[in-house]
Amino acid sequence: MTVRDILILPDKRLRLESKPVAKIDAAVRQLVEDMFETMYEAPGIGLAAIQIGEPKRIVTMDLAKKDEPRAPQVFINPELVSTSCDKNTHEEGCLSIPEYYEEVERPARVKVRYIDLDGQPHETEAEGLLATCLQHEIDHLNGVLFIDHISKLKRDRVIKKFAKAAKLGKQPGNRAAE
């Protein structure tokens, strides 16, 4: 397993649309292992493959609390099948936009179709934190960032801040810059 570098805003690759995984092979399994290693090291609760520069429709997630055993989940080619009309607001952050958090309103419940590492199809209904995380990570696969769900003023401000930091080589959360 390898801890990979996480792409940081304003990296243009974060806006790429990820391609579906055609078959689950050793390379995909290795990528998933690397994603978990990277996510746990960061530390974070979710990671899309594009965040480590791999434009593949793969999401890793672990919503276990710090004092609980790990509960890793893998979603390959996830797609939102349905969303509820009622909304929830959660504070979101992102490993690709380190140290920035904002309240985001999203559908309270979702139904997601995906395949697992054994190639088996699944459909799951989620609410609360799991629903929020699934929507956040599936957004990544579509080139959408959580800041796209906030006001233009706030979004422009954070993009400007990260663009300036990148120009100076001082991105927040970037181990190489610290």
Q: DSSP H helical segments within the chain, as ranges? A: 26-41, 128-141, 152-168
For residues 118 and 21, is the Cβ–Cβ distance under 8 A? no
Does the annotation count 123 as an active-site position?
Answer: no
Q: How many Cβ atoms from other residues are within 10 Å of residue 163's Cβ? A: 13
Structural tokens at position 172: 């927040």
Residue with tokens 């806006």: 15
For residues 108 and 127, is the Cβ–Cβ distance under 8 A? yes
Catalytic residue among 33, 91, 137, 178: 137
For residues 97 and 89, is the Cβ–Cβ distance under 8 A? no
How far is it, in rounded angstroms, from Cα 74 to Cα 19? Answer: 16
Give catalytic residues, as residue numbers. Answer: 137
